[in-house]
Each structure stands twice: as structure tokens, then as C-alpha cells.
Amino acid sequence: VDVEALIAGVLAGERRAVARAISAVEDGAPELPAISAGLYARTGTAATIGLTGAPGVGKSTLAGELVRAAREAGRTVAVLAVDPTSPYTGGALLGDRVRMQEHATDEGVFIRSMATRGHLGGMSLAAPEAVRILDAAGYDLVIVETVGVGQAEVDVAAATDTALVVLAPGLGDAVQMAKAGILEVADVFVVNKADRDGANEVVRELHQMLRMGPPRTWAPPVLATAALERRGIAELWEAVDEHRGHLTASGDLEGKRRARQLREVESLAAERFRLRAAATLEDDAGLLADLAARRIDPYAAADQLARGSPA
Ligand SMILES: Nc1nc2c(ncn2[C@@H]2O[C@H](COP(=O)(O)OP(=O)(O)O)[C@@H](O)[C@H]2O)c(=O)[nH]1
Ligand SMILES: [Mg+2]
């Protein structure tokens, strides 16, 4: 792989280069550190939006509508549909492509599914790297859609500037969301399928849960949408804009990004250390023998390994 050409291609916004770079992230390819090094200085300008919620609530449909809103506002946009639990981009994600097909010929739109094939840090590390590639490629807006509401999905949503949590009548109730820790990371709540019975109850339930939670500097609004009928989309777009305005004005955007960088470097370093410690331990016949003979205990052995690693 010609990494220099790949980096230049991404920076020039060439779709094939962007697609190849994201594949390198999925695979945890050996050239990934070099790609990251070549792009990082050119990132940080895209706005990022996360879409999380139970399967079937309408995330992909909403993503398609947000793409339309972004294009109408004259902004370019990328959609990254991620499945943190699967090494394959499964049926749900392929369905997403079909749903967003009307944008397929628009040069200002890039749509891509992503799975975790070989990236050692899993999706919570792979997704932010893929987002940075899209950022470096010049997309004004990056929308990240996850397939469900597990811990990995919460992590991915928390790694965007504005996290949208989507519910729908009969799907993924608020109590379930609270258990998954998703309420805390939500910046905007979307109750989709407002054309169906029960949407008002979901809205009410959410307001109730929010009242019970701790006070926050940003009170997440609860919006009702009917994505299929394109109802409530303008209001949603406005709420996203407002949240971004709040982030910028309050300094929370800087804080959020700093916290994210810290977590990411910490995770990457921990992953490297874990691999190195495992390899060292396997090679250290003496230490293993001491452990087996009970001459050293696991805590002391771990300390020894930790001290032995260069910082
Ligand atoms: N009635 C109704 N159906 C919707 C609405 N939005 C999406 N759907 C449908 O719900 C199904 C799941 O939508 P999808 O966007 O794939 O959900 P995802 O799994 O969260 O990405 C599809 O059949 C959509 O057409 C809506 O506002 N009202
Ligand atoms: Mg979807």
C-alpha cells in the first residue's frame, strides 16, 4: 500500500481513497498508524452527530432526512453506519444503503457501513478513527449511526459532538435506555414514528425520566418526528444546531473533545501495554515458574511487568 498516496487521496476528498482508508481502520491494518499520523493535523473541523437507538426505531430513515437537511443548507455530509458487535456489515446495514440510495449519486454525500474485523481496540476506537478520515476528507458533517443500544454503541455515540437518542412507540423504552446508560449521553431525544399511537406516551415518559435525573447545563430537548413523512425534521435540524451553538458558546465542545482525546489515547496505550505485557509474560519462563511455585503472587508479578515497560 502506498500510504503517502492514500493520505493525499483522502485529503483531496477522493472517495476511493476514503473508502480504502476506512477499510484499513476496520482491518486494523499495519499502515493504520501511518495513515492516522498523516491525517490528524487536518482533522477537527467536521461537526459530528451520533444516532443511537433500538433496531427499527428509524435511525437510518432519520439519517437520510438529516442528509437532505444538510445538503439543503449547502453542507457536505458523510454517514457512517457502524455495527460494534459484528465482524461483518450485516443485513441491517445493507438495508441502510438501500434507504439512502437517493443520495447515492450526490457527490457531496458519502455513505459507508463499518464493522470491526481486526481493529484491536474494537469499535469504540475504530469509529473515531474512521470519523477523522471523513473529517480530513473535508465533509462538513459526519453522521454516525449505530445498530443498537449496547455498551459499545453508547461509547460510539458518546464520541460524537451531538448524540441523538432515538425511540419509537413500542421499541426501546426509556427504562431500557436508562439501564444502558444512554440517557446520560443524549444531547437530543427523538421520538420517531410520531404518526403511530403511543408516541405521546414515550415523550411524556422521557420528560419524566429527565426530571428525575441530575440538573445539566444543557437540558436535552425531546422532539417528535415522523421521518417517513418528513415531519419534525426541520425542528430536529434546528435542535442539533442549537446544541452545537451551546457547545461552542459554553466551551463544552473543547472540554468534550479533550476528554475524548484523553480517553482514546488512554485506551490505545492500555491496549498496547496489554499486548506487550502478555508477550513479556509468556517469554518470562522464570516469572512463570515463580508464579507456579507460589514464590511470587499475581499482584507482585503484575507490578514487575508494569515497572519493566518503558513509559
Ligand atoms: N410509521 C413509521 N415508520 C417509520 C418511520 N421512520 C421509519 N419508519 C420505518 O421503520 C422501519 C425501520 O426504519 P430504519 O430507518 O431502518 O430503522 P433503524 O433500524 O433504526 O435504522 C422501516 O420500515 C422504516 O420505513 C416513521 O416515522 N413512521
Ligand atoms: Mg439502521
Each residue of 274-305: pLDDT tens digit? Answer: 989 999 999 999 999 999 999 999 999 999 98
What residue owns the CA closest to ligand 1's atom 28? 193
- pLDDT, average across residues 144-154: 84
Least confident of 36-45, 64-73, 78-87, 136-145: 78-87
What confidence score (pLDDT) does residue 118 get?
Answer: 66
Ligand 1 atom at minimum distance from 61 CA: 15
The pLDDT of residue 220 is above 80: yes
Residue count of the chain: 311
- pLDDT, average across residues 15-22: 96
Cell numbers at 233, concatenated: 425534521
- pLDDT, average across residues 174-191: 82
Distance 232 CA to ligand 2 centre (A): 19
Indicate the SS3 state at residue 226. Answer: strand
For ion ligand 2, residues whose CB falls within 5 Å: 59-60, 96
Ligand 1 atom at minimum distance from 227 CA: 27
- pLDDT, average across residues 255-277: 90
What confidence score (pLDDT) does residue 91 get?
Answer: 47
- pLDDT, average across residues 119-128: 80
- CB of 192 sitting under 6 A from ligand 1: yes
Cell numbers at 4, concatenated: 503517502
Which position has the grid cell 522464570? Answer: 286
- For the segment 131-142, what is each residue's pLDDT rounded down to a tens digit? 999 999 999 999
- CB of 243 sitting under 6 A from ligand 1: no
The pLDDT of residue 104 is above 80: no
Q: Are strands 77-83 and 162-167 parallel, antiparallel or unpaired?
A: unpaired
Question: What are the helix (H) ranges across 148-296?
Answer: 151-158, 174-179, 182-185, 199-212, 233-250, 252-283, 285-292
Distance 68 CA to ligand 1 centre (A): 16
The C-alpha atoms of residue 56 and residue 34 are separated, in whole angstroms, by: 38
Mean predicted lDDT score pLDDT of the chain? 89
Q: DSSP string covering 34-86, please?
A: HHHHHHGGG-S-SEEEEEE-STTSSHHHHHHHHHHHHHHTT--EEEEEEETT-
What confidence score (pLDDT) does residue 311 get?
Answer: 38
